[in-house]
Amino acid sequence: MACGRQRRRCCVSFDTVQRRLENRGTHTAPFAAEFSGAEIASATRDALYCEGSDDDTLCGIPRLRFAEIIYSGDILWAPDGDEDLDDGSYVLQFDIGDDARLIAFRSTGAERLHDVGTLSDLRIPADEFYRVLREWRDGFEARWRDMPKLSVDQEVP
């Protein structure tokens, strides 16, 4: 199966982390707890980037609906859209009850939907996951505020 669809562009940034914090509990999918990380990784690549029949089901969900769930639930965290830095890595985030589930993997191209040797599937307490995001956001914002600012007409040293 050829994977030729254009990748949807998104951005992993301060604003992205802020939105994840604001939308805690909404990164949900009906298949998130039931299927393995490998099944979800393959289904995600298949739904978003590969040609296939609209009648196909992925993790028990029709192909088009699966893609809608990934996008509407803001499940796909990476790739971040910067083609220069795109190494084929993916990060998916799911909120499942009191837990956060992260599935990370790397794609090796059209022949393999994901490189099984790179798959990581982590489920941690949501409080811990969102605490780490909050601490990163707060630290980044504090450093940014403390940095000297240049006016528009100044040159960068």
Q: What angle do CA 116, 117, 121 make, to 5 degrees?
A: 70
CB under 8 Å, gap of 24 or more: what pairs does 67-72 form? 69/29, 69/30, 70/29, 70/44, 71/8
- CB distance 102 to 92 below 8 Å: yes
DSSP category for residue 89: E
Q: Measured between alpha carbons, how far is 47 from 155 in angstroms, rounded to an integer?
A: 46
3-state secondary structure of 7: coil
- pLDDT tens-digit map of 56-68: 899 999 999 999 9
pLDDT value at 26 more than 90: yes
Q: Where are the domains of the chain?
A: 14-143
List CB contacts of 52: < 8 A, sequence separation 6 or more.
1, 46, 63
Residue 109 pLDDT: 67
Q: What is the pTM of this model?
A: 0.81
Average pLDDT in the chain: 84
Q: Tell me the pLDDT tens digit for each residue of 79-122.
A: 766 554 467 788 999 999 999 999 999 887 655 577 778 899 99
pLDDT at residue number 147 = 87
Question: How high is the pLDDT of residue 81?
Answer: 60
Specify the higher pLDDT residue, 114 or 6.
114
**What is the band of 48 on the pLDDT scale with cuts at 50, 70, 90?**
confident
Examine the pLDDT at 76 and tell me if it is beyond 80: yes
The pLDDT value given to residue 135: 96
